[in-house]
Structure 1
Amino acid sequence: MNPVHELSQVLTRRQLLGQSGLGLGAAALSTLMPGMSGSNQALALTPDPSAPLLPHFAPKAKRVIYLFQNGGPSHVDLFDYKPKLTELAGQGLPAELTDGKRFSTMTASQEKAFAPEITRFAQHGDCGKWIAANFLPHTAAIVDDLCFVQSMRTTQVNHAPAITYFLTGSELPGKPSMGAWLTYGLGSDADNLPAFTVMTSRDRQASCGQIFYDFYWGNGFLPSKYQGVKFRGSGDPVLYLSNPSGITRATRRQQLDDLATLNHINMQRLGDPEIAARVAQYEMAYRMQASVPELTDLASEPRHVLDMYGPQVQEKGSFAYNCLMARRLAERGCRFIQLMHAGWDQHTNLDTQLKIQCTDTDAPSAALVKDLQQRGLLEDTLVIWGGEFGRTPFQQNRPNSPRGRDHHPYAFSVWMAGGGMKPGYTYGASDDFGFNATENPVEVHDLQATILHQLGINHDVFTKRFQGLDQRLTGVEEAHVVTDIIA
């Protein structure tokens, strides 16, 4: 067939799609165009026909704040008290523990001996939760508000695949992240801020080489308007937020209107929904020029609130600053707020770096929970704290060398607060060494299914057709909502 003739046929089909009532791109774009006709305005009010009708049932949470701890916090030093580790320190692990298990290449072939915890555990709160309060005093003070899962396990032993698995449901990059799924299904309660925002931070000594890949908050095969918007720790909070020198806000408005007109013409020709997504992003950026300066202005925050988050709270890019921003974003209607803090990968510096990580994150994490609670937001905000795996009960290095622990996927801990989770509750357990999850194991997809459930979503039927398959966050394996941790 003549290529020019073939192209004209493609355009004709796309025109039919773009100009029909099923043209989701035209429907979205019409909301952004000045002076639209009455019929197009009415069309703009109809739901996006590609989006599911959600929620499936009454939700207990409206939003999620995910405090993701890159690198794998050591569960046996912080949350999962195992006195046997000290009792058996230096002794080799029984073969039945390690046979058939996968470890990273750093310890796969080494002899493995138990390493004692480096912290002091004690029971706290009315619930009596054992926790390393000398490293996590602020978290220990709010254990009655937290729901601990002690029996998490994953299939991944390396950082990037394990983080990708937690945040997208697949160990391979390219699938939509959890925040993209939720904003696709539930939309946004914020008119002038993104529904899905991301902030990153690092340990103070910059000892961690973990990389924050963009696909950790990507949209995958969903329209690009659902990808996370990253707030930066220096300069403008969002790239290109400020107008160039000599460009006024009125000039910018005229430019966007003219650009929307050109995009509308292109939309009529091609029917490509990504054109509408681009225009929507332009308009959001314009609104953010007014909303973000107010968001990041801490002048209205009381001194006692700032003090609660710790001394780094006014240092842009710190975990403490990001936690306060998370609360401010939550009260302004953001649906999914993803904080990622790197530095937990303690292979050779456990004795020094674990304390630094806890100092950087303990007070801000606890302050966020208390701040949300005091403002009446915790009830419908689900806060999640945890990493991609735990750390091994055995020492990575030889005796008398710098102490460290390797990646451990077979048992580790996360905690949650608010959003309809049972407060002051511990679910599941590991063996005497913190090696295997032995009581009520929770898989990554189970946790994802439970998060979706709290937002009123049945994970089994929350799908998007792509490459001939009904794709979902929880993958093709069977996943279960962990109903025992729901209040």
Structure 2
Amino acid sequence: MACGQFTPVTTRREMLRQSANSFGLMALAGMLNQANSASAAASVTLDPKNPLAVRQPHFPPRAKRIIFLFMHGGPSQVDTFDPKPLLKRDNGKPYPGQKPRVQFAATGNLLASPWEFRKYGQCGTEVSDLFPHVAKHVDKMCVIRSIHANNSAHGGALLQLHTGSDTFVRPSIGSWVTYGLGSENQNLPGFVTICPTLGHGGVQNWSSAFLPAAFQGTPIGDAATPAKNASLRHITNAKNSQSLQRQQLDLLRDLNQSHLQPLGPDLALEGRINSFELAFRMQTEAPTLMDISNETKETLELYGINGGPTDNFGRQCLLARRFAEKGVRFIQCTHSYKWDQHGNLRNGHGSNAKEVDQGIAGLLEDLSRRGLLDDTLVWWGGEFGRTPTAQGNDGRDHNPHAFSMWLAGGGVKGGTTFGETDDYGYYSVKDKVHMHDLHATILALMGMDHEKLTYRYAGRDFRLTDVHGRIVKEIMA
């Protein structure tokens, strides 16, 4: 340094000020690189020409397919699968605990169940007299008595049950499952929903939302259509031969592809192309699959398909078995919209259970006989439970704080119960299972890690369980 020159001293504050932008950019670059790496590792690689192609799970699965038996309206846990002796003892007395701060409607004193509970099977699980046929299969079932969720209104509760969110439009669980695993039968949809409800969220309950359209549920009829009349639309073409249809589709595909080339990816158009192709392929299997006339008399009687009150849901259950047998990944049957007994509990729940009990038992028996139950996960439940306190003289209000669901087959510990509610069945208190936990567990039984099954949309990675979810390993065989 030359004599007389002066070099100003850079203070720490000045150095940090000058370097702040660089540090920020370095941190941002690191975060983006980490996020992109995580997203790339978690993403599902899709074949744009065949998005339903079979994909490998994250780890060995216990189940290959799911049949969801949805009881729309909210069955009462304390009248079905969660016996409460104190509720019977204290019938008519005030609930001794604190009722929820937010209630759907006002309720009065405790209301005993009109039905007796009895022990069944080698396991001795107690089941209400509402389900005498299903009760015979408790050794195949795990009854989860500590389910809880967030929303006490049907619309939000249905959306959370089906999509994981009670407030936003999100992909349904059936869409996530087929997105993650594809379909074992390329001539059928990966996800079908039989006689689905058109209310309380409607199509959003089986929508693929921002996932590619190929993963949306395919409805067969709707809740207003008797199952015997429910059909897949446009799966036959009496006017044109298959060869002519193939030529028409080829021309249409070429025109659409020429439109795509200069524009780049277009999920809506690509989904439409795939739907045309799937609809064409479905002609080879779907009509025969929907025709149950080739089933034996014994099988029809097993499901209660005889024109009586058991006929409608029995048909749904039989169709579910037929779709499962043919490699459909996710099948939903809906008993809609009947379980919302704010009054007339005895008659309402009584007739509802009579309509579904035999069909569900027949499904479990039939799957077991055919060796399908081992790798088919059967899931039963509604969007919430009911209060142990009375609404009016003979009704129960909505209760998302405690309700029961059961799983059977597909890697589940049969002959077990899990979790507990309080002495009267108002709140889940032990081994609580939130809806996010249930979703995480169902995905795990299918061989998928709920934290890795993601889809990047609007700048972030989404998943069925959002930022929640604990796998309930205790119920797994």
TM-score (norm 1): 0.83
Aligned ranges 1:230-379 → 2 under 5 Å: 230-232=219-221, 233=227, 237-243=231-237, 246-274=239-267, 275-312=269-306, 318-342=312-336, 343-379=338-374
Tell me the distance in 2 between the aligned counterparts of 1:473 and 1:189.
Answer: 22
2:462 & 2:350 partners in 1: Cα distance? 41
Bigger shift: residues 299-308 or 439-448: 299-308
1:83-232 map, 5 Å: 83-94=85-96, 96-98=97-99, 100-104=100-104, 106-107=105-106, 110=107, 112-133=108-129, 135-200=130-195, 211=200, 213-232=202-221
| Structure 1 partner of 2:396 | 405
Q: Does the CA-based 8 Å contact 1:313-1:321 persist in structure 2?
A: no
Shift of residue 242, structure 1, vs aligned partner: 3.3
Contact 2:317 2:360 in 1 (8 A): yes
On the 8 A contact 2:303/2:362 being kept in 1, the answer is yes
**Residues 57-72 of structure 1 mapped to structure 2, 5 A cutoff:** 57-72=59-74
Question: Which residue of structure 1 aligns with residue 405 of structure 2?
Answer: 414
Secondary structure of the residue aligned to 1:284 is: helix
**Amino acid aligned to 2:425:** G
| Structure 1 runs not aligned, ≥5 long | 1-23, 32-46, 203-208
- Cα–Cα, structure 1 residues 61 and 52, in superposed 2: closer, same or farther, change >3 Å? closer
CA distance in 2, matches of 1:234, 1:246: 25
Name the residue aligned to 1:7: none
Asked whether the equivalents of residues 321 and 363 of structure 2 are also in contact (C-alpha less than 8 Å), the reply is yes
User: Who wins on radius of gyration, i.e. which is larger?
Assistant: 2
Partner of 1:16 in structure 2?
Answer: none
CA contact (8 A) 1:312 1:321 kept: no
Change (3 A) 1:482 1:122: same
3-state SS of paired residue (2:58) = coil
CA distance in structure 1 between the aligned counterparts of 2:309 and 2:117, rounded to whole angstroms: 31
- SS of corresponding position for 1:137: coil
Amino acid at match of 1:228: G
Name the counterpart of 1:41: none
Structure-2 residue corresponding to 1:28: 48
Tell me: CA distance 1:27–1:472, structure 2 relative to 1, closer, same or farther (3 Å): closer
For 2:83 and 2:95, the matched residues in 1 are separated by 18
SS in 1 for 2:177: helix
**Residue 234 of structure 1: how far off its partner (Å):** 6.1
Deviation of residue 314 (structure 1)? 9.8
Measure, in 2, the Cα distance between the counterparts of 1:86 and 1:79.
15
Cα displacement (A) at 1:241: 2.7
The question of whether the paired residues in 2 share the 8 Å contact of 1:73 and 1:345 is answered with yes
Q: Could you tell me how far 1:409 is from its partner in structure 2?
A: 1.1
**Number of aligned pairs?**
427
User: Does 53-62 or 138-147 show the bigger shift?
Assistant: 53-62
Question: Aligned letter for 2:271?
Answer: A
Q: What do residues 435-479 of structure 1 show as CA deviations (whole Å, max 9, x unaligned)? A: 1111111000000000010111111121111112211100123x2
Q: Determine the C-alpha separation between the residues in 2 that align with 1:171 and 1:27.
A: 31
1:26–1:267 Cα contact (<8 Å) kept: no
Query: Matched residue of 2:470: which SS?
Result: coil
CA distance in 1, matches of 2:473, 2:47: 39
Shift of 1:416: 0.6
Cα offsets for 1:87-141 (capped at 9, x unmatched): 11111112x331x43221x32xx5x2000101111111111111113x2110111
- Pair 450,236 (structure 1): closer, same or farther in 2 beyond 3 Å: closer
Q: Which amino acid aligns with 2:355?
A: D
Q: CA RMSD in A?
A: 2.4
The equivalent of 1:423 in structure 2 is 414
SS at match of 1:347: coil
| Partner secondary structure for residue 417 of structure 2 | strand
Paired letter, 2:116: R
Q: 1:162 to 1:224 in 2, by over 3 A?
A: same
8 Å Cα contact 1:72-1:344 kept in structure 2: yes
- So what's the TM-score if we normalise by structure 2? 0.85
Identity %: 40
